[in-house]
Amino acid sequence: MSTAAARTPITGVVITLNEAASIEACLTSLERVCDELIVVDSGSADDTCALARAFGARVIEQPYLGDGPQKNVGPKAATHRWVLSLDADERLTDEAVTAISALQLADTPHDGFALRRRNFIGSRWVKRCGWYPDYCLRLFDRDRTAFSDSRQHSSVQARSPQALDADIEHYSFANLAELFTKAGGRFSTRAAKIMYLKGKKVNACSPLIHGANAFVRKYLFQRGCLAGLDGLSVSLSAGVNAYLKYAKLLEFQRDPQVREREDFNQVW
């Protein structure tokens, strides 16, 4: 039984899609402070669900609804009021386990608690480019708050949160190649589709302007220049992502053939 069980029980929740390589490590991390584990899977073709069930987690199979709605499925099905939500590529540090275990959740005035997030490329912790401290509210009272309905980059809408002096680890990208392939692929395409469906209009200058702004913000204002090759790479990736996002949107606006070949019902 976890330390947290002696106090107020916590349900750990993870949303997954083809996370067989990481789900066991994530659940092992959550098990240190949680009394119940729920995995909400959106159609994995690998062994994610089997591994989660073998670990003892309850698996809910749910076609993907978008970030916020999907992350709210698990908390609604939870046995306990307090929910700790992690992504499959995130882990609790020892200090996070200690900080969470010490909380008096039964009578706290706070409806949520945020932790700093250490973002990694491979095994390298990137501390610049706005990647740290990257506060994420992950422990919350489901009776008082929830993730927003936003289908992209949703967050818990707590009214009286508190930041904990502790970190979680986020293994964002396996290597530099993945950093660029995700930015140039599904990240920018999804964002372009969302903007197109919302009716956003751009011109020929937009990709260059937004790409340059994203690079300068990361490299200079968020001090990526002090983080060596990784800082430069993160900044360039942000610029590429922004450039392609607006270039793809402009292409959707200008080229009916490209637009007709794209399935705008498959944004998520």
Q: Domain ranges in the chain?
A: 3-173, 176-261
- Provide the pairing of β-strand 58-61 with 112-121: unpaired
Q: What is the pLDDT of residues 201-250, one digit of tens each?
A: 999 999 999 999 999 999 999 999 999 999 999 999 999 999 999 999 99
The owner of tokens 């698996």 is 59
Q: Which two tokens stand for residue 8?
A: 């107020």
In this predicted structure, what is the pLDDT of residue 4? 39
In this predicted structure, what is the pLDDT of residue 2? 45
Enter the DSSP assignment of 199.
T
In this predicted structure, what is the pLDDT of residue 7? 80
* Greater model confidence, 115 or 186: 115
Q: Which amino acid is at 210?
A: H
Cα separation, 59 vs 15, in Å, equals 10
pLDDT class for 1, splitting at 50, 70, 90? very low
- Among 154, 17, 26, 41, which residue's Cα sits nearest to residue 84? 26
For the ranges 136-150, 164-178, 182-196, the lowest mean pLDDT is seen at: 182-196
| Residue-averaged pLDDT of the chain | 95
Q: What is the pLDDT of residues 65-112, one digit of tens each?
A: 999 999 999 999 999 999 999 999 999 999 999 999 999 999 999 999
Cα separation, 43 vs 18, in Å, equals 8
- Among 114, 90, 56, 107, which residue's Cα sits nearest to residue 170? 90
Query: What is the dotted CATH code of the domain comprising 3-173?
Result: 3.90.550.10
Query: Would you say residue 268 has pLDDT above 90?
Result: no
